[in-house]
């Protein structure tokens, strides 16, 4: 794929200038941008990635931004651009934290064209410098590729930056940066701010745990009984529908958003298989106790049910899925009569 003609022309013009002239050009451009009317953020909130908080904002056009100051601190760069540049310091279009020669081989053309700071007004009325949210994982990737090229001999002045980028990338691997900002700022109105993330943090671990038996045989035995299937012990191959029933009966009702997050973290391969059991992602202090309590109650309903329809009706009454209409007792009677 050829280089963007516009970008190619910009690089050629930049090469014709001295370093000081390029910096002065960037300063004038920055100051000019400050003088125009700026968009004001419609949504703002701190985004938590692990133990790091970065201030995020959403502009009227839907563009998601991270504030420059918290962005720099998150990647271990505490210093700010030189004074007098309007909040910017660039060489050949790159911000100061990507200007080191050692990083150059790992900077893609896409990244070079994505590093322009964006000026906006915060909800409180302050003029602010921000970067597009997608820039964060791209910058972290540059430092981690540089680390990999060092063959274990990382320059001391880069150690803390690489550590910070590694932590950020691990956090971003769990939840996409765009979705995380939408949750944190309230931009996605369907969910309350940060509530889903906080809940998932309690129920789900960050690393896959070793397998251990969590579902008693009785749970599956009752599924077979209520569906009218012949029970051939757990060693035999179970119908594929059992996995669907398990998701519906257990994970979809355990807590809001749990099933969707588990399916994202533990996807199926091309053969429809998962690399692990969903319960291996549950935390020991909250997730597994909640699973055990839910299974205990569900098995009680199964024991009391004479048919699959009766069980599902009672299950919907006792443990409705989030977003479903609560089935009241008189509704359950009508529902049972119609089935």
**240-295 tens-digit pLDDT:** 788 899 999 999 888 888 888 888 888 888 887 888 888 888 888 888 888 888 89
CA 297 to CA 319: how far, in whole Å?
10
DSSP 42: S
Judge contact between 81 and 221, C-beta under 8 A: no
Determine which helix (DSSP H) or strand (DSSP E) holds 53, and give its type and residue range.
Answer: strand 52-58
CA 287 to CA 284: how far, in whole Å?
6
pLDDT, mean of residues 128-150: 89
Percent share of the chain, pLDDT over 70: 71
CA 91 to CA 71: how far, in whole Å?
19
DSSP 203: H
CA 338 to CA 226: how far, in whole Å?
18
Which tokens go with 267?
Answer: 């996807």
Give the pLDDT confidence score for residue 327 in this predicted structure. 43
DSSP 268: B
With H, G, I as helix, E, B as strand and everything else as coil, classify residue 126: coil
Give the pLDDT confidence score for residue 304 in this predicted structure. 92
CA distances from 177 to 49, 131, 135, 183, 208 (A): 9, 13, 10, 10, 21
Which tokens go with 67?
Answer: 């504030």
Nearest to 184 by CA among 169, 163, 162, 201: 201
Q: What is the pLDDT of residues 37-84, one digit of tens each?
A: 788 998 998 888 777 888 999 998 888 899 988 888 888 876 555 444
Judge contact between 185 and 43, C-beta under 8 A: yes
């Amino acid at each position: 794929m050829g280089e963007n003609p516009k970008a190619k022309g910009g690089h050629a013009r930049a090469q014709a200038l001295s370093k000081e002239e390029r910096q002065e050009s960037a300063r004038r451009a920055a100051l000019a941008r400050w003088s125009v009317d700026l968009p004001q953020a419609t949504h703002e909130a701190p985004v938590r990635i692990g133990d790091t908080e970065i201030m995020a904002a959403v502009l009227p056009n839907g563009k998601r931004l991270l504030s420059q100051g918290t962005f720099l601190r998150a990647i271990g760069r505490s210093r700010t651009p030189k004074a007098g540049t309007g909040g910017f310091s660039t060489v050949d279009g790159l911000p100061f934290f990507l200007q080191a020669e050692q990083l150059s081989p790992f900077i893609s053309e896409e990244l070079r064209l994505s590093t322009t700071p964006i000026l906006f007004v915060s909800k409180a009325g302050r003029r602010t410098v921000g970067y597009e949210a997608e820039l964060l994982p791209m910058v972290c990737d540059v430092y981690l590729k540089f680390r990999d090229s060092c063959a274990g001999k990382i320059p001391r002045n880069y150690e803390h930056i690489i550590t910070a980028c590694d932590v950020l990338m691990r956090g971003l691997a769990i939840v996409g940066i765009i979705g995380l900002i939408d949750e944190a700022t309230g931009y996605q109105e369907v969910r309350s701010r940060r509530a889903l993330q906080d809940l998932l943090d309690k129920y789900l671990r960050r690393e896959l745990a070793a397998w251990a038996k969590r579902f008693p045989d009785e749970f599956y035995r009752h599924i077979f009984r209520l569906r009218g299937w012949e029970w051939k012990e757990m060693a035999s191959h179970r119908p594929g529908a059992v996995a669907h029933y398990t998701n519906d009966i257990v994970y979809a009702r355990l807590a809001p958003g749990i099933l969707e997050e588990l399916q994202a973290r533990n996807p199926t391969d091309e053969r429809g298989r998962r690399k692990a059991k969903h319960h291996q992602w549950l935390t020991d202090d909250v997730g597994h106790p909640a699973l055990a309590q839910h299974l205990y109650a569900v098995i009680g309903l199964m024991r009391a049910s004479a048919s699959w329809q009766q069980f599902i009706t009672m299950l919907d009454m006792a443990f409705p899925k989030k977003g479903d209409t609560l089935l009241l007792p008189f509704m359950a009677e009508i529902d049972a009569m119609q089935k």
